[in-house]
Amino acid sequence: MTTNPHIRIFDTTLRDGEQSPGASMTHVEKLELASLMEDMRVDVIEAGFPAASDGDFAAVSAIAAQSKSAIICGLARSTPGDIDRCAEAVKQAARPRIHTFISTSPVHMKHKLKMGPNAVLEAIGRSVAQARNHTDDVEWSAEDATRTDFDFLCKCIDVAIASGATTINVPDTVGYSHPEEYGALFRRLIENVTNSDKAIWSAHCHNDLGLAVANSISAVANGARQIECAINGLGERAGNAALEEVVMAMKVREDTLPFSTTVNPAYLSRASAMVSRITGFPVQYNKAIVGKNAFAHESGIHQDGMLKNAETYEIMKPEDVGVAKTSLVMGKLSGRHAFRDKLESMGYFLEGDALNDAFKRFKDLADKKKHVFDDDIAVLVDDQLAAEGERIVFKRLRVVCGTDGPQTAEIDLTVDGEEKYAIARGNGPVDAVFNAIRQIVQHNATLDLYQVHAVTGGTDAQATVSVRLNGEGIMATGRSSDPDTLVASAKAYLHAVNKLEARKAKRKAA
């Protein structure tokens, strides 16, 4: 077992995270997020599942081509076609990895694979050897490892290492384990598997019982040297271990967890906000590390303690994770230079037209609000970045509402550069807005989600609206912010429609 205290952070936001219903990302969004991960110094980026679709293959290939230092990993089933496809996708990376897997638990082998133990062992040896012919960095995973017979799991890992696997992943695929049990499993495997010192051991925990981070830390304490996690804990069902929680747990508690990561925690807040903006999944207010209330204190007793010494109620500094500790002291008289400095202090680096557009939007917002806060700036820039390259662009909205009715919306859009106009009625102003958009961009998708959140306090606060559409088996989520809730609703709906139309086009092309 290695004694190296460095723990590799394997980020699977782009692969396992994207498998969350409604969380799929566009090609441009994936490249943007992968670039931020490299800046954050994530060790391994699992960029996608190349055999799943042409779009996934293209995204993994592009991420590999733009990578600089991170290991770029693609997922592959234990079939020859999957592995060859994955190898082709990651080949341009400076440090490519193929991650292949197969189920090993009795319930998965019987009902999912319809294979016996000997056939599974043969598939492991064949797939790992094939992957190793393409690259020296091969990871093998035992899907549903925590419900697998221990002796059979040892045999599977023996075969994987003997065939050339350099990383062994022991996932808690269904979030079934608890910390003591999961840690003990790693300890027993490392003690019993032949040549266990020839591979890095990896933990991949799902959060079905809310124990993913605790299980991952327990695995590290018992010999694991890689943790597979996702920003905001994104992932199937209840999600994965949250990257930001894993990193800060080891940083804050170095006294009892003497391990280190290369991740720069100052990027955590920005990464969380980017994933939330891209997926449309809001971060819960009381989310550890990156939630809006993570560094907020309302209780009088807590406030008194904080005024005397911040350490009374905070075990880390907000700046450590990229959270600004003070409100933005800027207004409509602030200049472009000051605005640019503020953006850079928040982790946004805009140039040229992008900076000019953001500054104009900031000035417009400052004319409408007394106080412009950091959160206002963040959603303003995030909305701008999300809208870049969209076919359907919002131009103007006029809404008639109230008790006299009828509730009516007039909207102007630009579709592929052509001006479009529509007017529609609805059962309320929001329904009227969405009906007007549907007149221009016709689709049969249903509205699965409509949420409104205030970005900051006060009656002049910006509203952030999240919308999720579901049509023809495709889910698309949109998000936007504006001091006018109806304008934010229209922009969020259009963001979702743009994603929906793009994914339909990709499916048709495939």
Interval 258-276: pLDDT, tens: 999 999 999 999 999 899 8
Above pLDDT 90, what percent of the chain? 60
Under 8 Å between Cβ of 212 and 204: no
Check: CB of residue 171 under 8 Å from CB of residue 144. yes
- Show the DSSP H helices in 422-484 as ranges: 429-440
Task: Tell me what pLDDT residue 358 has.
Answer: 87
Structure-token match 């009902």, residue found: 111
Q: What percentage of residues in the chain have a pLDDT greater than 70?
A: 91
pLDDT at 405 over 80: no
- Tell me which of 54-63, 181-190, 427-436, 451-460 is least confident: 451-460
| 196 within 8 A of 189, measured Cβ to Cβ | yes
Q: Hey, CA dihedral for 401, 404, 407, 413, is it positive or negative?
A: negative
Rounded average pLDDT over 452-479 = 83
- pLDDT at residue 129 tops 90: yes
The per-residue pLDDT for 304 is 54
Rg of the chain taking only CA atoms, in angstroms: 24
Q: What is the predicted pLDDT for the residue at 509?
A: 65
Complete edge-to-edge strand list for the sheet that includes strand 418-425? 392-400, 408-415, 418-425
Q: Give the pLDDT confidence score for residue 148 in this predicted structure.
A: 96
CATH topology of domain 389-509: Double Stranded RNA Binding Domain (3.30.160)
How many Å apart are CA 277 and CA 91, to the nearest integer?
A: 30
Average pLDDT over residues 207-232: 97
CA distance 411 to 439: 10
Domain boundary assignment for the chain: 8-279, 300-385, 389-509
User: How large is the average pLDDT for residues 94-122?
Assistant: 96
pLDDT tens sequence across 145-194: 999 999 999 999 999 999 999 999 999 999 999 999 999 999 999 999 99
Mean pLDDT, the chain, whole residue set: 89
Give the ranges where 351-426 is alpha helix by DSSP (H). 352-368, 374-387
Average pLDDT over residues 104-126: 96
Indicate whether 302 pLDDT > 70.
no
The pLDDT of residue 284 is 84
Instruction: Domain 8-279: state its class.
Output: alpha beta
pLDDT of 282 reads 86
Residue 310 has pLDDT above 50, yes or no: yes
- State the first-to-last Cα distance of the chain, in angstroms, to the nearest integer: 46
- Residue 432 pLDDT level (bands cut at 50, 70, 90): very high
For residue 219, what are its two tokens? 């695995």
| Whole-number pLDDT of residue 2 | 43
Going by C-beta distance under 8 Å and a sequence separation of 6 or more, which residues neighbour residue 415? 391, 392, 393, 440, 441
pLDDT digits (tens, 9 = 90+) for 6-63: 999 999 999 998 888 777 788 989 999 999 999 999 999 999 999 998 989 999 999 9
pLDDT beyond 90 at 507: no
Q: Residues 103-107: what's their mean pLDDT?
A: 95
* Secondary structure (DSSP) of 374-395: HHHHHHHHHHHHHHTT-SEEEE
Nearest to 370 by CA among 331, 418, 321, 404: 331
Q: How many CA atoms lie within 13 A of 190 on its CB side?
A: 25
- Per-residue pLDDT tens digits for 323-360: 765 444 567 777 788 788 778 877 778 888 888 888 98
DSSP state of 461: P
Q: How far is CA 69 from the centre of its chain?
A: 20
- d(CA 283, CA 45) in angstroms, rounded, equals 22
